[in-house]
Structure 1
Amino acid sequence: MKTRIDFKYLLSLELTDPGCDFSVLSEFRSRVLKGGLEEIFLTTLLSICRERGWVKERGKQRTDSTHIEAAIRTMNRIECAGETLRAALNSLAVVVPDWLRAHTPQAWYDRYALRIQDFRMPRETTKLQALVEQIGQDGWEALNWIWETDAPSWLRNIPAVEILRCVWLQQFWIEDGKIGWRSNDNIPPSSLLIASPYDTQAHLNIKRDIVWTGYKAHLTETCDDVSPHLILHVETTAATTQDMEMTSIIHQRLERKQLLPSEHLMDTGYVDGEHLVTSQRTYGVEIIGPVAVNGSWQSKSPEGLDNTQFLIDWEKKNVTCPQGKTSKKWTVKQDKNVSDVIRAQFSKKDCLACSVRSQCTRAAVNPRQIVFRQREHHEAIQAARKRQTTKAFKERYAKRSGIEGTISQGVRAFGLRVSRYLGQEKKHLQHVLIATAMNVVRLFQWQMGATPSQRHISHFASLAL
């Protein structure tokens, strides 16, 4: 506001206007979050677009996600533990300085006065182990002081103290008064593990060759040929939330906005047999996207006998193998992430005597087992795998690639991956504001006669067309 002439022009301000104090916008953001009004910016703009015919229900839409780095420093486990204790001490120094001064040993001022960083730590294994044990013991002492009977009980409710308690449970074990450092295979999963005391909602995740600590942003936009491509919905999730978990949630949110599509283009991460069935049945939405291919060695081997070569009798609840043998056991297992999983197991006697056993299973003595979903979802998956190999499907699905350009625009022009705030709620508000700003730019371009951009083809590449 002080230096940008374009902002002053937009707000009809004089060039000499000093702007506003940063606290004005900070307090405004806090009021928006407290009132649960994050979506009002985007929904208000979409309502105007609906009135003017630029947005309509039952069109074509596409969705994809991208990684979002949290506004924190990436730390290893030792740094996180040390910095958590340091953050707790800083919080206590503000609210109970005299109490903390009376308890703190002199060595702590040297140990925790500066930020805990890896390059400050000893390189020798024995010295590093001693430092870790010292940090663990110091944190345990601090927690003991806070839980003493003469300590103010409200100290336990300080956020930094609660984070310290949680981190010490996750990173250390204690037995007979001795505290120890947990091994890497004895810590919580990344979806629960606190990666930083300054943003406990940010978690570590790995997707292919991308490693990040933070969140995910899921963008859904229109992609009809005769209207501007506008972002209809934004979801901000933890980094460890799988795309598959968001398909139904996105459709629920779009239904509330009365902006459900008739065709929804999604990549493999969002598509499963259950989604193919329930999206069509519940919301009237056709999901256009490939399902994951069968990754078993049988399906990859030319002579392998994969699941598609087994005949399922749903009424009798058995499976017949290519050699004509019938399964002897049919069990249904509930899964929290997907629909019920069915497991059919053949007789050990039949399998061991089978002439094509080497093409069916590599198990030494166990019989073959077939795992599949309940009938509707299984048949939807099989039909989708056949459909996604056709030319017609590939032509329809090609339109999904345009969402990559939207993500690129958000990242390069609007700072989509630049986290300005701590916490998922504030991050979601930032994403909603970015989506609203992107829509404003696109509407302006549309009014100026620009059509939704097509894939750029270089002059050289165009010679081959």
Structure 2
Amino acid sequence: MSVQPQPWPDPDPQIAAAIGAMYAGRREVPLAVRVRDRFGELFADGEFSVAFGQRGKPGWSPGRLALVTVLQKAENLTDRQAAEAVRTDLAWKYALGLDLQDPGFDHSVLSEFRSRVVAHGLEEKVLDLLLARLVEQGIVGAGGKQRTDSTHVISAVRDLSQLDLAGETVRAALEALVCAAPHWVEQVIDVPSWSRRYGDRVPGWHPPASKAKRARLAVDYGQDGFALLTAVHAPASPTWLRDLPAVQVLRRVLVQIYTRTVSGSGREVVKRREAKVDGLPPGQRRVTSPYDIDARRSVKGDTLWNGFKIHISETCQATAPAASGDNAVARPDRHGAVRPNLVTNVTTTDATVADNAMLDTVHQVLQRRGLLPGEHYLDSGYASAELIVGSVKRFGVVLVTPMLSDQTRQGRAKEGFATHDFRIDWQGREVVCPAGQTSTTWSPCRQGGLAKTVVVFSPTVCGPCPLRPKCTTSKLERRQLTLHPQEMHEALKSARAQQETDEWKHDYAIRAGVEGTIHQATTVTGIRRARYHGLKKTHLDHVYSAVALNLIRLDAWWNGHPLDRTRTSHLARLNLSLVA
């Protein structure tokens, strides 16, 4: 398929006249029409030309396919429904510059478009282009306030037990080998017997009733898998069979679930791994499905899921109390306008990645787009002393986030002497306890890759101290402290003091609005359930969902629909109207 970048055609006059007649008066035009009128050619073909060849059969405009995909997300349509909308919906034809007789395209074109975009690393192109246009129009920019939060994303594959995973992985590899080399397969296995076990997908909903039968079946799956790998790697087998993705996944899963040893009699022994005896791979490396090797299991609070995690960043504005004093409304900016809250970045990771590990990545992307905030509102999952100091130094971004309390035993219990009760002399490299005793050792070290200092008091002064029950219960009869570097320690102490003030709590309330954004993205675009396999395609889906969300919000703003107060009862609304 080839693409010669060309400007988008102007809307067909007949369609424009029909749209004008249909939406005359006070009726609001559809989103697709509004986007074309406001932005014109939003996604130029040239921005996607690297993903398409210069020779071959002419293909559909990639820029217009990008807009189709965004509108598809805005209306939560399938590929078939989106292709049908291109053929029949006048608003879509207007936005794409198609005439009435244009037949559109087959729905499979959208799948091929997504695959090409992912293969050439263009997943974020549409969000980059939209935000660049909004920067030009002065709707978004650097500085100001932004907020970020994450939520879980369930993968598009079955959730498998370890037993089901073993059997289904063997079946998936066997299916791939039969498709690639059927004659080779019939030479190396007993097709009828294997077909009885692997002819259909592994029926995980009714495994063998007894524990012994399940253990026997697990060993059978392992032996079959190793036998298949041995046959693939035999000298007489075609070497290219080893490179089949399903075969590579089989190798990983077998190592993850089984151990294979040779007994004293020379017999091969295959058994399932035991965590305490044989060890298990770390969670971030553990495959959970042969059909999506990027999906991972994770838990957060009461939520246990298999899949991914999405981090959403959006602009936000300071709030002021409403007339009734019960609700908060957005304050106008310095130009007197209340601008829409727009998504500035989405980042997709596997489910095991901690929130605080992604904050630098989020800031780097925002810096590339020229949209770094002055203040970044986050929940405690993103917070650490290192990030508070590092974000200001590297990006000039102030983090507004609640810090966890002192994690020493005394700090958690809020009784006894916590770290903040000790006086630290950073220049003299010593610490004085509440009883007036001085530490004996000051030992710089690294813990978890971070610089720390371990301070220890002598048992000779801690042992007879009358305050020792409030200070330490160590059997060594001495107190030990682990300190961050001075700058981080003081930043952490200051942050914990600030978050206790009413002013900080009122300011931090703005962060809660990102929960509404996640709810809107889930309701409108379905971001909590992955549509595709793999991390890259899931991220592509999230990026197009973010663009769709931005266009929906811009459309509401253009039409004069202000941000509504959420979670407000009808009685409270009546009270607000009477006050107004």
Match of 2:218 among 109, 126, 132: 132
Name the counterpart of 1:217: 310
- Matching of residue 348 in structure 1 with residue 459 in structure 2: yes
**Match among 284, 287, 304 for residue 399 of structure 2:** 287
Shifted more, 87-96 versus 139-148: the winner is: 139-148
Aligned residues, how many? 464
| Equivalent residue for 2:148, pick from 38, 41, 63 | 63
Alignment partners' CA distance in 1, 2:89 and 2:476 = 74
Note the C-alpha offset of 1:463. 8.4
Give 2:272's aligned amino acid. W
| Distance in 1 between residues matched to 2:574 and 2:312, nearest whole Å | 34
Residue number among 242, 265, 268 corresponding to 2:380 in the alignment: 268
For 1:238 and 1:301, locate their aligned partners in 2 and report how far apart those are by CA, in whole Å.
34
Residues 303 and 272 (structure 1 numbering): CA distance in 2 closer, same or farther, change over 3 Å?
closer
The reply to whether residue 198 of structure 1 matches residue 280 of structure 2 is: no
Q: For residues 336 and 17 of structure 1, do their structure 2 counterparts lie closer, same or farther at Cα, with a shift above 3 Å needed?
A: farther
Q: Does the aligned pair in 2 maintain the 1:2–1:17 contact within 8 Å? A: no
TM (norm. structure 1) is 0.94
The answer for the alignment partner of 1:91 in structure 2 is: 176
Matches within 5 A, 1:92-241: 92-105=177-190, 106-176=192-262, 177-185=268-276, 186-224=279-317, 225=331, 226-241=338-353
- Matching residue's letter, 2:211: T
Distance 2:445 2:294 in 1: 32
Q: What letter corresponds to residue 154 of structure 1 in structure 2?
A: W
Question: Relative to structure 1, is the Cα distance of residues 249 and 44 closer, same or farther in structure 2, using a 3 angstrom cutoff?
Answer: same
Secondary structure, aligned partner of 1:211: strand
> Any idea what SS the aligned residue of 1:333 has?
strand
Q: How does 1:364-375 map to 2 (within 5 A)?
A: 364-365=475-476, 367-375=478-486
Distance in 1 between residues matched to 2:214 and 2:316, nearest whole Å: 55
TM-score in terms of structure 2 length: 0.76
Change (3 A) 1:15 1:74: farther
Q: Distance in 2 between matches of 1:418 and 1:139?
A: 31
Cα distance, 1:292 vs structure 2: 1.3
Q: Point out the structure with max Rg over C-alpha.
A: 2
How far apart, CA to CA, are the structure 1 residues paired with 2:89 and 2:468?
A: 73
The 10-residue stretch of structure 1 (2-11 or 385-394) with the greater mean CA deviation from structure 2: 2-11
Query: How far apart are the structure 2 equivalents of 1:328 and 1:316?
Result: 12
Offset from partner CA, 1:274-305 (integer Å, 9 cap, x none): 11112112222111111112243312445411
Q: Which residue of 2 aligns with 1:27?
A: 112
Kept in 1, the 8 Å contact 2:85–2:92? The answer is no
Q: Deviations over 1:190-209 (max 9, x none)?
A: 11111111111110000000
Q: CA deviation at 1:3?
A: 4.9
Counterpart Cα distance in 2 of 1:285 and 1:399: 17
Checking the alignment, whether the CA contact within 8 Å between 2:93 and 2:99 is kept in structure 1 is no
1:447 aligns with 2:555: no
Distance (Å, rounded) in 1 between the aligned partners of 2:480 and 2:93: 68
Which residue number in structure 1 is paired with residue 92 of structure 2?
10
In structure 1, how many angstroms separate the alpha carbons of the residues matched to 2:428 and 2:421?
18
How far off is 1:464 after superposition?
A: 9.2
Per-residue CA deviation, residues 71-97 of structure 1 (Å, 9 max, x unaligned), is: 111111111111111110000001111
| Structural mapping, 1:265-344, within 5 Å | 265-301=377-413, 303-336=415-448, 339-344=450-455
The code of the aligned residue for 2:216 comes to A
Alpha carbons 1:2, 1:18 under 8 Å: kept = no
Shift of 1:306: 1.1
The answer on whether the counterparts of 1:8 and 1:14 sit within 8 Å (CA) in structure 2 is no
Contact kept, 8 Å, 1:236 with 1:428, in 2: the verdict is yes
Q: Which amino acid aligns with 2:315?
A: T
Once the two structures are superposed, what CA deviation does each residue of 1:160-208 show, in whole Å capped at 9, x if it has no partner? 1111111111111122121110124421121111111111111000000
Mapped partners of 2:89, 2:270: distance in 1: 56
Please report how far the alpha carbon of residue 335 of structure 1 lies from its aligned counterpart in structure 2 after TM superposition: 3.9
Give 1:363 deviation, angstroms.
2.4
Partner Cα separation in structure 2 for residue 391 and residue 130 of structure 1 = 62
Deviation at 1:461, TM superposition (A): 5.2
Bigger CA drift: 34-43 or 357-366? 357-366
Contact 2:408–2:419 (CA under 8 A) maintained in structure 1:
no
SS at match of 2:294: coil
Residue aligning to 2:16: none
Q: CA 1:447/1:109 → structure 2, altered by over 3 Å: closer, same or farther?
A: same
Equivalent residue in structure 2 for 1:410, among 510, 513, 521 = 521
Among candidates 532, 537, 549, match of residue 421 of structure 1: 532
Unaligned runs of 5+ in 2: 1-81, 263-267, 318-330, 332-337
Q: State the superposition RMSD in angstroms.
A: 2.1
Distance 1:302 1:9 in 2: 62
Mapped partners of 2:229, 2:139: distance in 1: 58
Distance 1:193 1:262 in 2: 38
- SS of the equivalent of 2:284 reads coil
Residue 41 of structure 1 deviates from its aligned partner by 0.6
SS for the counterpart of 1:120 is: coil
* Structure 1 residue 325, shift from structure 2 partner: 2.3
Distance 1:21 1:463 in 2: 51
